[in-house]
Amino acid sequence: MTSLDLLSSDPTGSGPLPPHGVYPDARRCDTKTLEERFWEKVRKGPGCWEWTGANTGAKSGGYGLFFFEGEIHRASRISLMLAGSPVPKNLCALHKCDNPPCVRPDHLFIGTRSENLKDAYRKGRAHDGGQAERNRMKTHCPQGHPYDEENTYTSREGVRACRACGRIRDRKRTPRNRYSERSVPSAPSSSAGQ
């Protein structure tokens, strides 16, 4: 057995370790139900019900994390699931109360990432300080060309772009004709060989 095999195997000898963040539930030794495990990590109050278990940390908002079915999930998603409203994978559990550790089901709703961002802008808590909204309100590109239907397109990155500026960029990138006047070699002078 190589040292690499030792690093990638379980010290108990039960086989290789699972990928980071994924652990088989079969190794769990407690007998509590899902609901018991979840709600024992919640401090209920008259307003928000705050998650007291593992979380994403202050820099990431402090959203609750909960281990379920071999994976780590956001606690707000599990709260909605336990309340009878499972959140599909392509959707998010959003907060009406804007309190990331809150898992109170009536403070949560299901929505898209786009709806979550719009809600954040509307409530003044967007991370970019509203820069995207300010950019949307611009009527001309930095070079002064209008952002109108004829002169505007959406780039591959999903960003609004100016056609006129794109044409200028393309002209600068296109190599000049190699047979232009400047590139024709001059004839050798006849006085050089005498």
pLDDT digits (tens, 9 = 90+) for 38-66: 999 999 989 999 999 999 888 788 899 99
With tokens 């392509």, the residue in question is 90
Give me the mean pLDDT over the 120-131 stretch.
69
Retrieve residue 11's tokens: 């010290």
- Helix/strand number for the chain, H first, E second: 6, 8
Total domains, the chain: 2
- Please tell me the predicted confidence (pLDDT) of residue 73: 92
Q: Is residue 37 part of a domain?
A: yes
Verify that 77 and 117 share a domain, yes or no. Answer: yes
Residue-number span of the structural domain to which 167 is assigned:
138-173
Q: Is residue 92 part of a domain?
A: yes
Q: Is residue 30 part of a domain?
A: yes
175 or 79, greater pLDDT: 79
Q: Is residue 90 part of a domain?
A: yes
- Please tell me the predicted confidence (pLDDT) of residue 50: 94
pTM: 0.52
Verify that 44 and 68 share a domain, yes or no. Answer: yes
pLDDT above 70 as % of the chain? 71
Verify that 124 and 163 share a domain, yes or no. Answer: no
Neighbours of 2 (CB within 10 A): 7
CATH number of the domain within which 41 lies: 3.90.75
